[in-house]
């Protein structure tokens, strides 16, 4: 007499490879869709051509020209990144005057925004960007 005893079926081991693949895909998805940059808002005044000659203050505006190297030019004098103390003193002396920033064609947007932020940090109350050529 032969007994028909079946041995218990062994369960296959659960493969972790698909689980690890899913975890990596989720990690990649969340890393790519997350934002790690803290965004700041900055008010930007764009000066318009004016037909009236009436100024809000007695002093003429400070017309800074930004070139592609990041240097500022005012009345023929060139100021670079190390001249912040001189620029702060100049802006402080002309505190009633508005500051208008002119740019050349080779200047990129990041240089413009950085320069406007720099001028505001140095004490300029109102900085406008002139878009006229």
Residue 13's contacts (CB-CB under 8 Å, 6 or more residues apart) are: none
pLDDT number for residue 55: 47
pLDDT number for residue 123: 85
Question: Does pLDDT of 99 surpass 80?
Answer: yes
Mean pLDDT of 81-109: 84
Task: Report whether 64 contacts 74 (CB < 8 A).
Answer: yes
Q: Mean of the per-residue pLDDT values for the chain?
A: 80
Task: Report whether 38 contacts 121 (CB < 8 A).
Answer: no
Domain 59-130 bears CATH identifier 3.30.1330.60: no
b/e sequence 15-27, b meaning 16+ C-beta within 10 Å: eeeeeeeeeeeee
pLDDT number for residue 54: 43
- In tens, the pLDDT along 24-62 reads 999 999 989 887 777 777 676 665 555 444 445 577 888
Q: Could you state, in order of their start, the residue ranges of all structural domains in the chain?
A: 59-130
Question: Does pLDDT of 79 surpass 70?
Answer: yes
Both tokens assigned to 27: 């990690």
């Amino acid at each position: 007499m032969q007994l028909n005893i079946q041995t218990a079926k062994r369960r296959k081991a659960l493969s972790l490879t698909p689980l690890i693949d899913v975890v990596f895909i989720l990690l990649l998805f969340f890393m790519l869709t997350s934002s790690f940059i803290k965004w700041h808002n900055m008010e930007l005044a764009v000066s318009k051509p004016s037909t009236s000659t009436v100024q809000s203050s007695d002093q003429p505006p400070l017309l800074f020209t930004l070139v592609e190297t990041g240097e500022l030019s005012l009345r023929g004098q060139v100021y670079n990144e190390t001249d912040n103390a001189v620029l702060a003193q100049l802006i402080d002396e002309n505190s009633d005057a508005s500051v208008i920033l002119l740019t050349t064609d080779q200047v990129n947007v990041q240089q413009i925004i950085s320069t406007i932020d720099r001028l505001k940090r140095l004490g300029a109350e109102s900085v406008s960007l002139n878009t006229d050529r």
